[in-house]
Amino acid sequence: MKYANLHLHSTYSDAQFTPAQLVLIGKSLGYRALALTDHETDGGVREMMRHAEREGGVDVLSGIEFYGEYDKVNLHLVALDYDMDSPVLRAFVRERVELYSEYTRKCVEYGRSIGVIDGITWDDVCGVCGEGAWICIDSVLNAYRAKRIPIPENLRADVFKAPETLIHKPKSASAEQVIRTVRAAGGIAALAHPNNQTHYVPALIDMGLNGIEVCHPSLRDDTPQLAMEAAETYRLYHCGGTDHTGPMSGCGGKHAIPVFNGVTEEEYFTIKERRLG
């Protein structure tokens, strides 16, 4: 069992558990520390921190999982333990949230116009999201679940992947902008689940990358070894967590397997105390 789970999602982006529920589940599983890393937002982090303080026995780090484009590849970059009041980071997060929420609003409007989305409105979608949420297709699914209405089987294909809506989908920020923003806020900027991506590490380090996920359920073949070698070679912080897999994900199918990824106590306090600088 790992000490800390540093890659989690909630109802503030594309998952079903609230930050409060994640605290209870994480503690029951034996985790001593958590990081909520919702896509492009930290809207649920303070909520998680409040519940963790009330519950006791669980530490919480600030966190976000950003998309960052490099070499025409959409990398995932996890930000950890940064200053949540950093003006640069706050402006960046607000921009990313607003761009994607507007795209999702257009998807909902299009879906209603062609009759695929029925029984819920944009207000219903916003109603199941906390303030600052990254509103996406999962928010729409949660709105259906809240009203106990069957989810349309063709929602993704005919609405969110339709040419009429994809033209509005916002582009990711550059990996360099993400990394520099996180580092300016005093945080750890880590390359997430780096399958077939460890060769990007030297270039990303030049941008300020200072962490890499070494324990994640999707890591396959020789990636764990390559990630660990990169971490040791370049003095990167070891990061990792369960993401959308395991008992903290709320997902079914192939994701509903008993994984307990994360980092050790030593790795966690290396991050907290910035032992690598």
pLDDT in tens, the chain (277 residues): 899 999 999 999 999 899 999 999 999 999 999 999 999 999 999 999 999 999 999 999 999 999 999 999 999 999 999 999 999 999 999 999 999 999 999 999 999 999 999 999 999 999 999 999 999 999 999 999 999 999 999 999 999 999 999 999 999 999 999 999 999 999 999 999 999 999 999 999 999 999 999 999 999 999 999 999 999 999 999 999 999 999 999 888 888 899 999 999 999 999 999 999 9
List all residues 6 or more positions away from 73 whose beta carbon is below 8 Å from its beta carbon: 197, 200
Domain ranges of the chain: 97-166
- Provide the residue type at 253 as one letter: G
pTM passes above 0.75: yes
As a whole number of angstroms, the distance between CA 81 and CA 101 comes to 25
Compute how many other C-beta atoms are within 10 angstroms of the C-beta atom of residue 225.
12
As a whole number of angstroms, the distance between CA 36 and CA 41 comes to 10
Contact between 71 and 39 under an 8 Å Cβ cutoff? The reply is no
Q: At what angle do helices 45-55 and 19-29 cross, to 10 degrees?
A: 50
